[in-house]
Amino acid sequence: MRSRALHVYTRISVSCALTLTLACSLGHATETALPRPTLDGSVSVEKAMATRTTARAYSTDPLTIADVGQLLWAGNGIIPTDAVSGATKRVIPSARKTYPIELYLVCGEGTAQHLAAGVYHYEPEHHALRKIADGDRRKPMSSACKGQSWIAKAPVSVIVGAVFTRAEATSGPERGINFGVMEAGNANQNILLQARALGLETNTVGGIRDEDLYKALQLPSEVRPIVLVTVGKKP
Ligand SMILES: Cc1cc2nc3c(=O)[nH]c(=O)nc-3n(C[C@H](O)[C@H](O)[C@H](O)COP(=O)(O)O)c2cc1C
């Protein structure tokens, strides 16, 4: 079963890579492809749960691009289920398959291997990053988190956002918001556990002033930031 999933993933990844290359050749490529995620780590889910803890200090060591890709995939990635039909499913469950979750990566220059400093949208369909803002935004981001200055020192952060209107369209305003927030929780927890399995430290930050965060990161107005997850290595 596992080897079939890997085989399917390989076939789909090749087709995604071709799509990206095609986009490049057509001159409208703005995406950075991420390394193919592994579907088979060596740390048990029980060990990841038992060792997860909140960290508010990180070393200055950068994350690898493979780690960044793995974390984003864990939070909102896609799993190919059939190479012939191209069928896929998401890593996280979603009420009525409305998929309200959007992830954004925030990094400094060289804090995520060769990625330039900026804010990137994670594109699940291509397992790729699309830049939405230039420059190191970690300081203004930490100010938007009610001045929690340690956040600026985390090499990367992942914003877990929800587009409530997607869930509201099928579940109504009240349940739609509940489902959006709940699905953000699913994404958050997957990222925390995946980080532990990679030997990385994290913190979930909910102390956010939304308006300041929109300005700091140039997030699209339809995406409500629910939490951000800081990620780095032990100091
Ligand atoms: C929704 C949510 C919001 C949080 N917001 C913050 C925050 O703004 N700043 C912070 O330092 N920790 C934040 N935390 C982390 C909690 O303080 C932490 O999980 C708690 O103290 C328990 O410690 P542990 O995670 O090590 O078990 C948040 C956690 C959650 C789940």
Smallest Cα–Cα separation from 155: which of 88, 64, 86, 223?
64
Ligand 1 touching residue 205 (CB < 6 A): yes
Residue 32: name the closest of 129, 135, 131, 123 by CA.
129
CATH number of the domain bearing residue 205? 3.40.109.10
pLDDT band at 16 (very low <50, low <70, confident <90, very high): very low
In sequence order, what are the residues at sequence separation of 6 or more whose Cβ sits closer than 8 angstroms to the Cβ of residue 10?
A: 36
Instruction: Return the pLDDT at 30.
Output: 84
Q: What is the pTM of this model?
A: 0.90
Q: What are the tens digits of pLDDT across the range 147-199?
A: 999 999 999 999 999 999 999 999 999 999 999 999 999 999 999 999 999 99
Which value, to the nearest 10 degrees, does the dihedral of the CA atoms of residues 126, 152, 235, 67 take? Answer: 0
Question: How far does residue 54's CA lie from ligand 1's centre (Å)?
Answer: 7
Q: Which has the minimum average pLDDT: 25-34, 40-49, 66-75, 199-208?
A: 25-34
- Tell me which residue has its CA closest to atom 15 in ligand 1: 204
**Total of domains in the chain:** 1
Residue 232 and residue 155 in contact, taking contact as beta carbons nearer than 8 Å: yes
- Give residue 191's domain range: 2-232
User: Cα separations (Å) of 141 from 64, 147, 174?
Assistant: 22, 9, 29
| Cα-to-centroid distance, 50 and ligand 1 (Å) | 16
Report yes or no: 77 and 158 within 8 Å, Cβ to Cβ: no
Q: Measure 206 CA to ligand 1 centroid, in angstroms.
A: 7
Tell me if 90 sits within 8 A of 78, measured CB to CB.
Answer: yes
Give tens-digit pLDDT for 165-179.
Answer: 999 999 999 999 999
